[in-house]
Copies of this chain bind each other. A is one copy, B any other.
């Protein structure tokens, strides 16, 4: 097995080759990789069978086994994803700003790749191809550290991609996989600041916390979403019920699902019984405060509930006297991901948009729209919940940095 520092050195060397590739060269290579994945579907499914067997033997939950499984259709999906990336505009080389200083220096701010991107992720093996595609198109080399549950699948996918890159005349070290699965290697990886320019964890709250605590590489935090929907006094209750039902139940295990409701006292009587009735369709458990329990039968909410991302058919309800109180509650308990207000009042809407501290703030729409595809970015590597660098859905542009180039004719500083 290759040592981590060797992997780092190879990536640091590969990044200079990847950043010099033209858009055309990158697209041709991506198409070759897509073809190769489909052509080697049997090999990939065989490798995946080892992971599935190991998962079954250790009694893995059926939902997780399903996420882990590769079949022909999913492999074609991975290939299709890469082909979609070929159609996205290349962010590299764009001149973001350009100005001439009084001393004649021409300063240009140019978009450039990050260099080497590290990604630590959990069990879905399709992330291996998806993450490679986005990092590569944005001119970066990538080092991947997948979950041990998917190690055979990830190794097989990476091998196919590397072989296809080689055939396309591109350095195969544009993608490298860390094959060791012990935790100490992950710890070491997080401290490879010399070789890795940014680290993106993708997975549950525990993984993200561990990376933030231990990494010396700059991190982009992604994907924990304790998202709220606030129903204002002036809300259209029809919209409220339909948006809450969508945001809570359309897909429960995702970071942009609604986990908590905040309801203005003035509408609780009209809204909550109707909403409870609707949520019964999906057996959603409601946990409400005292004022909620005056109008519907439900489980008492605890302080802990307000801070919990359930990822389940459960929702908490807090009642408030004003939009100010709603904003304060949300800013206290949210994870800075996606928050919505349902209101027909422009002043409340503007106040909420301005004062709620989150990547995406909605008026009269479902929080489920926080997504690279829904935003029109064509793809996403994750949803950033931090304020440094990128916030919200991250597409190709968010995987880039910039540099200043300055052209002179002998200028010195006085």
What is the interface of chain A, defined by CB distance below 8 A to chain B?
A: 16, 19-20, 99, 101, 105, 107, 114-115, 193, 197-198, 212-213, 216, 218-220, 236, 238-239, 242-243, 245-247, 250, 331, 349, 353-355, 357-366, 368-370, 374-376, 386-389, 391-392, 401-413
Closest residue of B by beta carbon distance from A213 = B216
With beta carbons under 8 angstroms apart, the residue of B105, B242, B361, B363 that contacts A403 is B361
- 5 closest Cβ pairs, A-B complex: A365-B408, A246-B412, A387-B401, A368-B413, A218-B388
Q: Across the interface, which residues of B come within 8 angstroms of A369, CB to CB?
A: 105, 406, 411, 413
- Min Cβ gap A181→B in Å is 25
With beta carbons under 8 angstroms apart, the residue of B193, B246, B404 that contacts A359 is B404
Would you mind naming 27 contact pairs between A and B with Cβ atoms under 8 Å apart?
A19-B354, A20-B354, A101-B374, A101-B376, A105-B365, A105-B369, A197-B388, A198-B387, A212-B216, A218-B219, A218-B387, A242-B410, A247-B412, A349-B407, A353-B405, A358-B403, A361-B403, A361-B405, A362-B405, A363-B406, A366-B413, A369-B406, A370-B404, A375-B404, A388-B388, A388-B401, A391-B401
Q: Across the interface, which residues of B come within 8 angstroms of A219, CB to CB?
A: 218
Residue pair A406, B360 in contact (C-beta under 8 Å): yes
Q: Across the interface, which residues of B come within 8 angstroms of A365, CB to CB?
A: 105, 406-412
Bound Cα distance from A388 to B199, whole angstroms = 10
Bound Cα distance from A401 to B357, whole angstroms = 11
- Min Cβ gap A255→B in Å is 14
Residue pair B16, A331 in contact (C-beta under 8 Å): yes
Bound Cα distance from A125 to B23, whole angstroms = 49
The majority secondary structure among interface residues of chain A is mixed
Q: Across the interface, which residues of B come within 8 angstroms of A354, CB to CB?
A: 19-20
Known: A250-B413, A362-B408. 12 other contacts (CB 8 A): A19-B355, A20-B354, A114-B387, A114-B388, A220-B388, A359-B403, A366-B413, A368-B413, A387-B401, A389-B389, A391-B403, A392-B404
Q: Across the interface, which residues of B come within 8 angstroms of A364, CB to CB?
A: 407-411
Bound Cα distance from A218 to B215, whole angstroms = 10
Q: Across the interface, which residues of B come within 8 angstroms of A197, CB to CB?
A: 386-388
Q: Across the interface, which residues of B come within 8 angstroms of A361, CB to CB?
A: 403-406
Q: Across the interface, which residues of B come within 8 angstroms of A375, CB to CB?
A: 101, 107, 404
Q: Across the interface, which residues of B come within 8 angstroms of A105, CB to CB?
A: 365, 369
- Min Cβ gap A345→B in Å is 13
Q: Across the interface, which residues of B come within 8 angstroms of A370, CB to CB?
A: 404
Bound Cα distance from A96 to B114, whole angstroms = 22
Bound Cα distance from A361 to B216, whole angstroms = 26
Q: Across the interface, which residues of B come within 8 angstroms of A358, CB to CB?
A: 403
Q: Across the interface, which residues of B come within 8 angstroms of A357, CB to CB?
A: 115
Q: Across the interface, which residues of B come within 8 angstroms of A243, CB to CB?
A: 410-412
Q: Across the interface, which residues of B come within 8 angstroms of A368, CB to CB?
A: 412-413
Closest residue of B by beta carbon distance from A243 = B412
- Min Cβ gap A213→B in Å is 6
Q: Across the interface, which residues of B come within 8 angstroms of A193, CB to CB?
A: 212
- Min Cβ gap A174→B in Å is 17
Closest residue of B by beta carbon distance from A355 = B16
Closest residue of B by beta carbon distance from A375 = B107
Q: Across the interface, which residues of B come within 8 angstroms of A239, CB to CB?
A: 409-410
With beta carbons under 8 angstroms apart, the residue of B212, B355, B366 that contacts A411 is B366
- Min Cβ gap A371→B in Å is 8
Closest residue of B by beta carbon distance from A251 = B413
Q: Across the interface, which residues of B come within 8 angstroms of A220, CB to CB?
A: 388
